[in-house]
Amino acid sequence: MSPKTIGIALACVASAVLLAACGNKGASSAAASASAPASSAAAANAGQLNVGIIQMVEHQALDAANKGIVDQLAARGYKDGEKIKIDRQNAQADQSNMKNIAQRFVSANSAIIFAIATPAAQTVANTTKTIPIVGTAITDYKSARLVQSNEKPGTNVTGSSDMNPIAEQAQLLKEFVPNVKTVGVLYNSSEVNSEIQVDILKGEAKKQGFALKIATVSNVNDIQQAAHSLVGKVEAVYVPTDNVIASAIPTLLKVTNPAKLPVICGESNMVKAGGLATIGIDYYELGKVAGDMGADILDGKSKPAEMPIRYQKQYKAIVNGKAAKELGIAIPESVKSKAEILN
């Protein structure tokens, strides 16, 4: 082989080695880049417990309950990103979404699942019988078939109830409309929570001396038509803590306000959205109660089966002053003395 041929051969070998080295370097960098996020995620989750929060639908009351859960967990030493990793999911009132979210939490081996509103809790309870479930924004756990009894659940479900002071709400309505003869009631007939509240209201209406005219809906698209069916037939409207109605209060008010019909609400966020008044639940505080119960479970202090359902003990009267003006209603002195007036 000639010196010239040898030189060419050596040059080719050197080039091949150089290209191979560059290729290996690029492959190594790509591999390192691909593995870095996984390693970082593993490090970030080291020692953390997975916690799921499923919310049925987005509206102010349930949003407030969600925040209350997270804030109280943090106050008890379970801050998101430290001891626990919280996965917050909203099902947007879609049953298939709720099923997928519930399965997601189970697959993630969640240490605990918080369920906001009855349908969300029922879906999760049907998905797992072992992972602790703490509910909130649920009126009656036994009627919803989530527990054996509200005093001793006996299942993997417990939580805080949003049962309203309906007797006080009926009295509040009478204070605003002393001569009321018929009250319209609007709610979603598929929500067991709402059915329970309306059944209680029926008894209170008899005591207060007024009749009820009931209009039911199945979704937000039915609200305007149902509200129109009450106009001219009632002197006031009552809405319980119903998720469908709560998510679309402005839709209801587009009918009731022009008709000068005061709307007495089941909870304060409905009043903040434009309803007239309530003596009701504070969903942020209710969420904090659920968060506290969840922290007890995470601490190993108790189990859902042994934890009685908890109730809010103090209620707050709230009046929307702007709504009162629009309706031409004077706020009674008896109400002013005990209520927060929103302007």
- Report pLDDT digits (tens) over 306-316: 999 999 888 98
Query: What residue segments make up the domains of the chain, in order of their start?
Result: 49-162+283-311, 166-280+315-342
Q: What's the mean per-residue pLDDT of the chain?
A: 88
The fold adopted by the segment(s) 49-162+283-311 is: Rossmann fold (3.40.50)
How far apart, in whole angstroms, are the C-alpha atoms of residue 283 and residue 166?
16
CATH code for residues 166-280+315-342: 3.40.50.2300
Domain 49-162+283-311 matches domain 166-280+315-342 at the CATH topology level:
yes
Residues 125 and 155: beta-carbon distance below 8 Å: yes
- Report pLDDT digits (tens) over 145-187: 999 999 999 999 999 999 999 999 999 999 999 999 999 999 9
Sign of CA dihedral 222, 228, 234, 235: positive
* pLDDT score of 38: 33
What percentage of the chain has pLDDT greater than the value 90? 84
Pairing between β-strand 182-188 and β-strand 211-217 as defined by DSSP bridges: parallel
How far apart, in whole angstroms, are the C-alpha atoms of residue 95 and residue 244?
14
Length of the chain: 343
How far apart, in whole angstroms, are the C-alpha atoms of residue 138 and residue 118?
5
Closest to 241 (Cα-Cα) out of 262, 268, 216:
268
* pLDDT score of 72: 98
- Report pLDDT digits (tens) over 60-117: 999 999 999 999 999 999 999 999 999 999 999 999 999 999 999 999 999 999 999 9
CA-to-CA separations, 300 to 96, 281, 288, 304, in angstroms, rounded? 33, 29, 18, 11
Q: What is the mean pLDDT of the segment spanning 7-33? A: 35
Across 25-39, 162-176, 237-251, least confident range? 25-39
Sequence-distant (≥ 6) Cβ neighbours of residue 317 within 8 angstroms: 172, 277, 278, 279, 335, 338, 339, 340
Answer yes or no: is pLDDT of 32 > 90. no
* pLDDT score of 314: 86
Q: SS3 for 154? A: coil
Q: SS3 for 316? A: strand
Tokens describing residue 123: 């879906």
Closest to 185 (Cα-Cα) out of 118, 241, 260, 126:
241
CA-to-CA separations, 97 to 55, 92, 124, 225, 309, in angstroms, rounded? 11, 8, 11, 28, 27
Residues 55 and 116: beta-carbon distance below 8 Å: yes
**pLDDT classification of 36: cutoffs 50, 70, 90:** very low
* pLDDT score of 46: 62
* pLDDT score of 22: 36
Q: What is the mean pLDDT of the segment spanning 196-224? A: 96
Answer yes or no: is pLDDT of 121 > 80. yes
Q: Which residue has the tokens 């001219």?
A: 232
Residues 227 and 186: beta-carbon distance below 8 Å: yes
On whether the pTM is more than 0.85, the answer is no
Higher-pLDDT residue of 316, 331: 331
